[in-house]
Chains A and B, each alone.
Chain A
Amino acid sequence: MRFTLNGRKTRVDAHPMTRLLDALRHECGLTGTKEGCGEGECGACTVLLDGQPVNSCLVPLAHADGTRVTTIEGLGGRHPLQQAFVQFGGAQCGICTPGMILAALALGPKPSLAAMKTGLAGNICRCTGYGAIYDSITRAGKYARVGR
């Protein structure tokens, strides 16, 4: 299977029904994508497939063929969302954080509260009660504007 992983052309030789999650973690060595439930409920394994958030535990590797896959490693480390999640309490234990940040990225710039609530409804955080996550995303938007 060939796809573009975080901007790099990648080839993974594995069974087409391998979970994308396992391919990323075991074949590509990118362990930033986490498994919380294995049944598409918690969202910890969220990655972007052609810019759309998906639960990588439910995506067979075959579906990734020819797509652009973005994982948390693809954001580098200085993305405004990453900085804001550290500064404003969006990350506590951190296990939902990679998936949450990618799902937030898919919301586009300056999402409304309603858009955040709907767009992140598939990403469970058991630590924060979500308020600090909304705060982090909102403030990241302000960072980004300053950055430009």
Chain B
Amino acid sequence: MRKAVGRNVLRKEGREKVTGAARYIDDLSFPNLLHARTIRSTIPSGEIANISFGFDASSTGGFTIVDYRDIPGKNIVALIDEDQPCLAERTIRHVAEPILILAHESRDALLAAEVRIDATPSTPNYDPAASTTHFKSIAIDKGDLNRGFALADHIIEGEYRVGSQEQMYIEPNGVIAVPDDDGRGVTVYGSMQCPYYVHRALVVLLGFTDERVRVIQTETGGGFGGKEDYPSMIAGHAALAALKARRPVKLIYDRIEDMLATPKRHPGVIRHRTGVTRDGRLTAMDIDVLLDGGAYATLSAVVLSRGVLHASGPYRCDNVRIRGRAAMTNTPPNGAFRGFGAPQTQFAVEVHMERIAEQLKIDPVVLRDTNALRPGDTTATGQTLGDDCSAREVLREAVKRTKFRQRRKQLAGTNRAIGLSLFFHGSGFTGAGEVKLASKASLALTATGVRILVASTEIGQGTRTMLAQIVADSLGIPYDDVEVNAADTGEVPDSGPTVASRTCMIVGRILQRAAGEMRKALGRSSPREYFRKHGALVVTSQYERPAGMIWDDVLYRGDAYGSFGWACDVVELEVDRATWEVRPVKFTTVHEIGKVIHPTLATGQIAGGSAQGLGWALIEDVVMRDGRMANNSFTNYIVPTTLDTPEMDIVLLERPYRHGPFGAKGVGEMPIDGPAPAVINALRHAGFDLRHIPATPESLMTCASR
């Protein structure tokens, strides 16, 4: 029998996706369905004074109107801090804050309904540096910073800015809530990454028991982090309306609303002060990270955590000080987007490294090679790296493959330029996060093989396929005999959220162990034989912390991640000196991600994440005006099309991680860390001293005229 791992087996739900049979949330309907609409604040801060209706709001009008007084439990979207209301009561902290939910049979009637909200505005703050409210502050210290600077021949400083970014999944957010007949339970279907996050938020909001809340993920048209936390909000709104109307309620956002209201990447300002010897060894790194959290805490604390943990890049340095803050401002909350803080901070360190090389007149490859982390080195938190630390290998392979130095010389003085970036990315939840999650995964025998029961969601990355490969080989059965249950909290255990490059490495490992136990229970029988003779068998396994992995969440010391992936990007681009447009021409990346479970899926993650990274670097510009996104449409916020995306050469290196399934690490997020600094570093070689993204034609023009 052919092994499944390492082979390009067919995607489990591929056929449904190419025939139009896959059912996304807007494709579902229920008898007696009502549609819903969210009424939102139009001011960035203030107090609600009065609400009045320009339609028949009595029972004869056919409207169900929900406000905070209809919430039977706590009026919060339960996540980390309990600060964000599901429906605003009096205080408004950002534009597009939900205040009311209207539901009606007719979409036209809903759209025509006028609601007037009188509010007393207060002065908003949009500047995170001026904010006095910090959702989270983190300090990392290693060695002796003063001593490090004393050892330096040069001290180089810089400030780097990154813009926000819209996830732009092609399927907007949406849910359907179906109330139980007795009004004490609800089932929510929806487009989401994390069914158990939604489940918990509903339990807290509605005051129902765990058993009476059921959350079922429907086929999900992309997430990229954008469907990590906000589906809890939307599910709450739909559930409240459904329970009040005692009818199913469908709440689907259109693109304009989705972009206006839902979380995006945190903009940030990162400052570096670095001590370096004459020959290019880093002696001190002093790094300050400021992220704009928006109006509520949501995920800012953990985005900041991943941000600071990657802020010193894949480099060895004995003396490091990192300070990070996520500050409150009066904009819609910023949240999860692929990379989760690491793209922001690694943009800064990689552009800074290029400036150091420039100032010291050292080859940028040599500077990186000199300082790149090696097995046995320690990171800023004191984590000792194992044999799967591949920073120098990916750098050397990328430089060799692209003939980087030669190409740079050839391109000097032309409109083309080449740049690179070296980066890493931790797989799994940060620090003690996985221990706290204590994820579970189950395998159940069926008449035809085995079924995987996990809450991990398929959102395009190939979760069902990749997990089935791991289970098939661990059990020694054909891939086609493994099926995957829907991510339905009524049927599957809580295997944690589908985030943080954790699904393969963490959940895959739990399933591998479950399969090992099941194999023992089966003895010499095949799953079918055992099922025929003995009937059902379910095996559940739980996350186990790898021995020796220790993390101190107070001091921010220890093993921040089980493992890291390593990568190097090289981008060649062309600058149009008439329009100042930048066109990436050729993109090469070398990724070391441990054992590659499915080459086509893994390559797909890298290609897609790299394209998003190029978009963030050059064309994706979230324009905020008076606390609201001014370009919240597909027309005005542009993402890479076929014509904007260069040819990509993607190379996979494999250095197995001992505790990953078959040696696999995470891959989902890392690809987006590298393109932006590689682009800006290429532009530096073309003569543009840019220290921010996006590098729009306007900013190139300004830079050229300085």
Contact = CB atoms under 8 A, between A and B. Distances in A.
B461 interface: yes
B117 interface: no
Interface in B210-246: 219-224
A36 B18 contact: no
A33 interface: yes
B643 A93 contact: no
Interface residues of A, number: 53
Contacts of B612: 126
Interface of A: 25, 30-39, 41-42, 44, 71-73, 75-77, 81-83, 85-89, 91-98, 101, 116-118, 120-132
A25 B24 CA distance: 12
Nearest to B220: A93
A86 B18 CA distance: 7
Given A36-B171, A86-B18, A124-B170, A95 B24 contact: yes
8 contacts: A36-B171, A87-B8, A91-B11, A93-B17, A101-B18, A117-B642, A121-B642, A131-B648
A34 B634 contact: no
B648 A93 contact: no
B611 interface: yes
Interface stretch (B175-183, B272-280, B596-604, B682-690): B596-604
B490 interface: no
Contacts of B14: 85-87, 91
A36 B172 CA distance: 7
Interface string B484-502: 0000000000000000000
- The DSSP consensus for interface residues of chain B is loop
Would you list the 6 A-B pairs with minimal beta carbon distance, nearest first? A32-B20, A95-B221, A93-B460, A94-B17, A86-B14, A129-B611
B54 to A, nearest CB: 25
B164 to A, nearest CB: 16
A129 B633 contact: no
Given A36-B172, A77-B19, A89-B601, 13 more contacts: A31-B27, A41-B633, A85-B17, A86-B10, A87-B14, A93-B460, A95-B171, A121-B641, A121-B642, A124-B641, A127-B222, A127-B608, A129-B611
B661 interface: no
Nearest to B614: A129
B635 interface: yes
B18 A85 contact: yes
Contacts of A25: 27
B639 interface: yes
A44 to B, nearest CB: 5
Contacts of A73: 19-20
- The DSSP consensus for interface residues of chain A is loop
Nearest to B461: A92
Contact of A97 (B17, B254, B639): B17
A85 B20 CA distance: 13
B603 A89 contact: yes
Interface string B674-696: 00000000000000000000000
A126 B642 contact: no
Contacts of B21: 32
Contacts of B645: 129-131
Interface in B156-202: 167-172
B610 interface: yes
A93 B601 contact: no
A96 B604 contact: no
Contacts of A92: 222, 460-462, 604, 608
A75 B418 CA distance: 44
A35 B643 CA distance: 22
Interface residues of B, number: 56
B367 interface: no
A36 B634 contact: yes
A42 B23 contact: no
B22 interface: yes
Contacts of A123: 642
Contact of B20 (A30, A39, A96, A117): A30
A128 B19 contact: no
Contact of A86 (B15, B255, B459): B15
B219 A39 contact: no
Contacts of B648: 129, 131
B17 A91 contact: yes
Nearest to B633: A39
B312 to A, nearest CB: 29
B604 A128 contact: yes
Nearest to A93: B460
Nearest to A116: B642
A30 B14 CA distance: 19
B168 A126 contact: yes
B18 A129 contact: no
B633 A34 contact: no
A45 B600 CA distance: 26
Contacts of B462: 92
B458 to A, nearest CB: 8
B203 interface: no
B647 interface: yes
A90 B439 CA distance: 32
Nearest to B254: A38
B10 A129 contact: no
B19 A72 contact: yes
Nearest to B259: A37
Contact of B608 (A32, A77, A101, A126): A126
B287 interface: no
Contact of B170 (A86, A96, A131): A96
**Which of B255, B641, B643 has its CB near the most chain A CB atoms (within 10 A)?**
B641
Interface in B397-447: none
B89 interface: no
A78 B7 CA distance: 23
Contacts of A118: 642-643
Contacts of A97: 17-18
A87 B10 contact: yes
Contact of A126 (B8, B23, B224): B224
Contacts of B255: 36-39
Nearest to A41: B634
B634 A42 contact: yes
Contacts of A121: 641-643
B171 A132 contact: no
B170 A120 contact: no
A126 B643 contact: no
B607 interface: yes
Contacts of A30: 20
Contact of B221 (A77, A82, A94): A94
B26 interface: yes
B97 to A, nearest CB: 24
Nearest to A35: B26
**Which of A73, A76, A124, A126 has its CB near the most chain B CB atoms (within 10 A)?**
A126
B19 A37 contact: no
A77 B607 CA distance: 27
A139 B395 CA distance: 32
Contacts of A130: 607, 611, 642, 645
A132 B17 contact: no
A60 to B, nearest CB: 17
B634 A37 contact: yes
A41 B642 CA distance: 13
B629 to A, nearest CB: 15
A63 to B, nearest CB: 21
A71 B611 contact: no
Nearest to B637: A41
